[in-house]
Amino acid sequence: MGPLISSAIEQAIESAIESTVESAIEQAIESTVESAVEQVIEQAIESTVESAVEQVIEQAIESTVEQAISQLSRRFLGR
């Protein structure tokens, strides 16, 4: 093979390697970003659900305590 053909083959191989590496890096970055975004969304949803559940439980407890106090006051104070 002549030096011209050798040089063309080397350039083709280098170009193919660069393209493959760039593609692999882009895919890794996209995958990492997607995973990070998914985790943030999941955590936000979990936090929102936990907060909502806590509020429902607090309201249920408050309502139950208020009802119990009301019943006891009626029973003992005759109101």
Share of the chain above pLDDT 70, in %: 97
* Residue spans of beta strands (DSSP E) within the chain: none
Residue 52 tokens read as: 């909502």
User: If pLDDT is split at 50, 70 and 90, which confidence band does 49 have?
Assistant: very high
pTM tops 0.85, yes or no: no
Q: How far apart are CA 71 and CA 76, in angstroms?
A: 9
H or E element, residue 47: helix 3-77
Residue 28 to residues 33, 57, 73, Cα–Cα distance (Å): 9, 43, 66
**Residue 77 has what pLDDT?**
87
